[in-house]
Amino acid sequence: MNAGHTVAVFGAYGHTGRFVVAELQDRGIVPLLSGRDEEKLRTFAKSRPGVEARAASVEDAASLDRALSGVDAVINCAGPFATTAAPVIEAALRARIPYVDVAAEIEANLDTFARFGERAQAAGSLVIPAMAFFGGLGDLLVTAAMDDWEQADEAHIAYGLDSWNPTPGTRVAGAVSRQRRDGRRLRYRNARLEYRDDAAPTMTWPFPEPLSARKVVGEFTMTDVVTVPSHLSIPEVCTYMTAEAARDVASPDTPAPTSVDTRGRSAQTFLVDVVVRSGGEERRAVARGQDIYAVTAPLVVEAVQRILMGGTTAVGVASAGAVFDAPGFLRALSAHLTSELSDTGTANGPAAGAVAAAWA
């Protein structure tokens, strides 16, 4: 089914890039390894016999053009995306191939929509930013929960991570984002981003089993506030993070992820709990799985595979929920995560207390 398809992976030797390369090969798609560090690229290529590697630099447009020559799509796994996204998108537009990335940087994703929306549309090309655990999965869950609703009042995305061992790339991306917003935090209220200098609120979120009620940091804003409002009419989008995971990622002493299985996944588990409210009604979507970095690979590769197989005619810059059938996409990931949708009825459902606290 995938015979003849070659996908370039920029940042192939990075933590997430390695999962993406393996997922492509598992699906019979040929990866082409690329990245900025030639020594790391050569070393990684030795572990993938027969796979071509082409070094490229975001400062050298010609090298990017050579790296993308003859491929069918490119997946950008190299952060910080504030530095890499625009040059690689430019190269993808020149090559007239789809571009997909796994950026979790809010500002970088905002830049992608603002800078490339009209150009990608005019070129007939598709650009999908944030096709990852943060941004992509939340957007798919919110979209699936919305179902036939044309608009909603609020969307709440609670991340139930039992721990968070950040990669070096996560730390660099976080530092870049903090610098770009002068140390302030963000929230999405009244259909716009607000910069805040105060501390984020804390509360208890009633996660489904196996987590149950956990303390969370409210307004722990992730890139869902870019992807969800890009195509859904929801003026209030709030994301939450379990307090222990928030402490882990903030601490400079937390080590990087450690593999515990043959797939290279860490022991980290996650539960993403989405509540969408409209008037007096409430709908819920839940996803469970292991390792937020590892699960990004099937998310982004499923997206690329659907594009290459003609599963979308979309062009321009768009998020996952705008491009794909969200429930069907989530079902296709059943080997990697479980998901479920439910209509909880009135807006006095299980998350009502936490939602009220968040908006207090």
DSSP track, 194-255: EEE-SPPPEEEEEPPTTT-EEEEETT---THHHHTTTTSB-SEEEEEEEHHHHHHHH-TTPP
Whether residues 144 and 259 fall in one domain: yes
Whether residues 137 and 271 fall in one domain: yes
- Classify residue 352: in a domain, yes or no: yes
Whether residues 23 and 122 fall in one domain: yes
Q: Model's pTM, two decimal places?
A: 0.95
At 256, which CATH number? 3.30.360
pLDDT for res 1: 45
Whether residues 18 and 50 fall in one domain: yes
Q: Centre a 10 Å sphere on the Cβ of residue 262 and count the other Cβ atoms it contains.
A: 6
pLDDT for res 261: 97
Instruction: Locate 321 and state its tokens.
Output: 């929920």
- Considering its fold, how many domains does the chain have in total? 2
Whether residues 274 and 209 fall in one domain: yes
Say if residues 173 and 104 touch (Cβ distance below 8 Å).
Answer: yes
What spatial distance separates the first Cα and last Cα of the chain, rounded to whole Å? 52
Whether residues 161 and 57 fall in one domain: no
Instruction: Locate 56 and state its tokens.
Output: 């490229």
The angle, 0 to 180 degrees and rounded to 10, between the axes of the packed helices 106-123 and 81-95 is 10
pLDDT beyond 80 at 354: no
Whether residues 148 and 276 fall in one domain: yes
**Identity at 127, one-letter amino acid code:** V
Whether residues 61 and 85 fall in one domain: yes
Q: Which residue(s) pair with 338 in the sheet?
A: 288
Average pLDDT of span 244-273? 98
Say if residues 270 and 248 touch (Cβ distance below 8 Å).
Answer: no
- Classify residue 1: in a domain, yes or no: no
Whether residues 242 and 145 fall in one domain: yes
Q: What is the mean pLDDT of the chain?
A: 95
- Classify residue 110: in a domain, yes or no: yes
pLDDT for res 166: 98
Whether residues 114 and 172 fall in one domain: no
pLDDT for res 359: 45
Average pLDDT of span 287-311? 98
What tens digit of pLDDT does each residue of 115-161 get? 999 999 999 999 999 999 999 999 999 999 999 999 999 999 999 99
pLDDT tier, 345 (very low <50, low <70, confident <90, very high otherwise):
low
What tens digit of pLDDT does each residue of 155-188 get? 999 999 999 999 999 999 999 999 999 999 999 9
Average pLDDT of span 94-121? 98
Concatenated DSSP letters for 77-91? --S-HHHHHHHHHHH
At 309, which CATH number? 3.40.50.720
Whether residues 157 and 304 fall in one domain: no
pLDDT beyond 90 at 346: no
Domain that includes residue 170, residue range: 133-294+326-359
pLDDT above 90 covers what percent of the chain? 93
CA distance 69 to 72: 9
